[in-house]
Chains A and B, each alone.
Chain A
Amino acid sequence: MTNTVHSVEMVDISKSFFGVKVLDEVSFAVLPGEIHALAGENGAGKSTLMKILQGVYSMDSGEIRIAGSSVSIHSFQDARNLGIGMVFQEFSLVPELTVAQNIFLDREHKNRFGLFDEKETVKQAHIVMESLGLHIDVTAKVSTLGRAYQQLTEIAKAIAGDAKILILDEPTASLAKEEVEALFKVLRGLTSRGVSIIYISHRMDEIYKICNRITILRDGKRIAVASLEEITPNEIIAHITGRKDLEMLAHDGRSSSQFESPNFEVEGLQVGTRVNHVSFQLFPGQILGLAGLMGSGRTELVRALFGLDKKDQGTIKIDGKEVTIKNPRDAMAHGLAFIPEDRRRQGLIMEHTVKHNILSTNLSSLSHHSFLNFPKINSVVNNAITKFEVRPGEANREVRLFSGGNQQKVVIAKWMATNPRFVLLDEPTVGVDIGTKVEIMKLIRSIAHEGKSVILISSELPELLSVCDRILVIRKGEIAEDLNRNEIKDEDHLQMIVQGIHV
């Protein structure tokens, strides 16, 4: 074994952004023909590590070896020439081109006049597909294919580019079960040809099904490397989350019996195929958690509540009265606030200042006959900055210049300034360092203590466990479980439920 040459070897990789260490001497190695899982929370450093391997970021220190020899990767092009292929979560295919044209995009077959050779392209694409054991019409436009076939086309594209190392980021996030099987078959076929696969996933069952080994990162450090035959799911979860975080986020033992009558009721909510007949009640001062895998319908549910997506069926009652929420303006008028999952695209206007971002949700309360009331704006903004501990506390600084955690505080601050009754939070701690995570959890508790009702979506189960009074587990758009906090033993227990593994 000692003489085995790794197909990829990353040694002592370190990387900092703006003085924050996101990778701390991380080593990572993959054998030829191996499927190697890379696991860790959001922000643990997985994607940074992969981006270094693809030449998107440069490392501060460390070494990369491909097939035993040291290489330097400065661009995507370099990575591709070294046989590193990436299957993007957001596909990089051109929808209006055919499968064959996409596979050979930017290395088109030319005929002797230097023109695009459609015949040769189709023939070669066929050969690639055959080798993967796939029967896809390579002359079909990509836009006519389902998600799974688009994904397989993406893989074919990487293979046609002679990829020896394939990176897959959450490849099954939007696939149906049969499609997942087809994907796995292709992946196994590839490994028998000696291709190495780096498999990034949060889904425990899939990791056990298809991977040989796993590397776990947490807070920019490599925590463990193990063969999947030697490690239990519980151990993996423990490594991913880190027990000490759990202590920092300990549940404060509120009982749900303190709630009298619900002030927010959802009945039979239907949104396309993503949310299926969902009903639940929310009480004043209650924190309701929504747990579920990515793509389970959690986000779609809250988006519909806030009027961002059209509801096909179902009613929402506030204080027992049915209300109509067709757009975010209706939702805000009924006292809802929504902290969205993607703060850069949905939460903030990155080029605007903190002051203007806070102002944007409060325009009518901070103006008089459409004229902005600047003294009032300044005092509200300064109070918000102090209360939510935005650092640095400069109201006139553009939000893009703040750290992720402080940006998120600005989002929370601007919504809390609207004085909402119902606060919806979708993954509020994504890409936020552990210190700020704890602060955000404290904030959520204090929001509930003020008597506001909170709906919290999080993929990080310790967070849900630490603050929620009740947790709904969402699976395939339905409420699969409705649990009181005290019915859940610990994180592992909840993890099993979320994964759909019954103990």
Chain B
Amino acid sequence: MKIANLKKIDFRSTLIYWMFLVIFLAFSVILHDDGFLQSNNLLNILRQTATITVMAVAMTFVISAAEIDLSIGGVAGLTSVVAALMVRDHGLVQGILAGLAIGFIVGSANGLLVARVGIPSFLVTLGMQGVAVGFAALVTNYYPVPILNDTFNRIFGSGTIGKFPGLLLWSFTAVIIGWVTLTKTTFGRRVLATGGNRDAAEFNGINTKNIKFQVMLISSVVASIAGLLYAGRLQTGRYEWGAGDELSAIAAVILGGTSLFGGSGRIIGTFFGALLVGLINNGLILAGLPVSQQQIIRGLIIILAVALARKK
């Protein structure tokens, strides 16, 4: 029985782990002399992917509900700026709360426009992305805002627990909460039902408008947490933080085996998807390639991986 079941496991559903393994081994051999396998480098990969992981976990819910959120990068940047300014002028707690408030405000606006007004999330969040980045640039006049509050920096990103980077705690927490919520709670089932077949979900008594609102809200609030993590790790708020992260997060989710059409979501897959994206970034940097070539190769690898991972 067990063996028969094992055989039935879809090749595609485990693909992300194979891809991760293959690329990891390839880099281990090719980049051995560049220090790829050194524990410092490996921890670095985890640290650098933490923000993407956190956002990608929330993105898994959005995509499972058959929506998309392109504004998360902008929300992260705006949050880092607002938090930095508030920490400087008013203090730690005000900084954190103001940062999270950005997520609430943008998320509520996205959610209302998508769920109530009925505008496709693609358009809403594409526009919102510009609004958020623009605001962040406007209030800081394009200048970075340094954060001198050590407590803030320690909590969000720069701190360690023993030798263990604090950022890892954030990404593990996000993965665990995300996994439990998606697989073990009624909310997770409602999200998947809404994304799987909105009509049927509505016939089943699921308030699909509420679900769509909630996933958009969660995505923005989590993006604002990611913004705080940027601010803490880099000890600055800057409008550019998070730029382009929406694409990395979406790539991580799809690589992880979540269907772009909604109705199925895999949090653990997303985690490995995010790690894979981070791994590729790290490897290309270690290989000493110029940024332009990094971008080309990263883009091609992601297209190839998604092409292999897609369900239909």
CA distance A340 to B201 in the complex (A): 12
Distance from B12 Cβ to chain A, minimum over Cβ atoms (Å): 14
Contact A352 B263, CB 8 Å, known A329-B207, A345-B197, A360-B201? yes
- CB contacts (< 8 Å) of A71 on chain B: these are none
CA distance A456 to B39 in the complex (A): 68
Partner of B190, one of A308, A332, A363: A363
User: Are A345 and B200 in contact, with the CB atoms below 8 A?
Assistant: yes
Contact A346 B193, CB 8 Å, known A328-B204, A351-B263? no
CA distance A372 to B264 in the complex (A): 18
Number of A-B contacts (CB under 8 A): 71
B154 within 8 A of A: no
- CB contacts (< 8 Å) of B184 on chain A: these are 371-372
B34 within 8 A of A: no
Residue interface bits A351-391, CB-to-B below 8 A is 1, else 0? 11000100111011001001110000000000000000000
Contact A349 B203, CB 8 Å, known A356-B192, A367-B186, A370-B187? no
User: Are A347 and B200 in contact, with the CB atoms below 8 A?
Assistant: yes
Distance from B87 Cβ to chain A, minimum over Cβ atoms (Å): 35
Q: Which residues from 296 to 354 on chain A have a C-beta closer than 8 Å to any C-beta of chain B?
A: 308, 327-329, 331-332, 338, 340, 345-352
User: Are B202 and A370 in contact, with the CB atoms below 8 A?
Assistant: no
Contact A349 B197, CB 8 Å, known A308-B203, A328-B204, A329-B205? yes
- CB contacts (< 8 Å) of B187 on chain A: these are 370
- CB contacts (< 8 Å) of B197 on chain A: these are 345, 348-350
User: Are A372 and B186 in contact, with the CB atoms below 8 A?
Assistant: yes
Residue interface bits B97-118, CB-to-A below 8 A is 1, else 0? 0000000000000000000000
Contact size class for B? 20 to 34
Distance from A344 Cβ to chain B, minimum over Cβ atoms (Å): 9
Please indicate which of the listed interface residues B193, B202, B203, B263 has the most CB atoms of chain A within 10 Å of its own CB. B203
- CB contacts (< 8 Å) of A347 on chain B: these are 200, 203
Please indicate which of the listed interface residues A338, A348, A360, A370 has the most CB atoms of chain B within 10 Å of its own CB. A360
Q: Which residues from 205 to 234 on chain B have a C-beta closer than 8 Å to any C-beta of chain A?
A: 205-207
User: Are B264 and A361 in contact, with the CB atoms below 8 A?
Assistant: no
User: Are A360 and B264 in contact, with the CB atoms below 8 A?
Assistant: no
CA distance A329 to B196 in the complex (A): 19
Distance from A362 Cβ to chain B, minimum over Cβ atoms (Å): 9
CA distance A93 to B129 in the complex (A): 36
CA distance A340 to B264 in the complex (A): 24
User: Are B264 and A351 in contact, with the CB atoms below 8 A?
Assistant: yes
- CB contacts (< 8 Å) of A332 on chain B: these are 205
Residue interface bits B51-63, CB-to-A below 8 A is 1, else 0? 0000000000000
B88 within 8 A of A: no
User: Are B203 and A364 in contact, with the CB atoms below 8 A?
Assistant: no
B185 within 8 A of A: yes
Please name 6 pairs of A and B residues whose Cβ atoms are closer than 8 Å in the assembled complex, sorted by A.
A327-B207, A328-B202, A328-B205, A350-B197, A361-B204, A363-B190
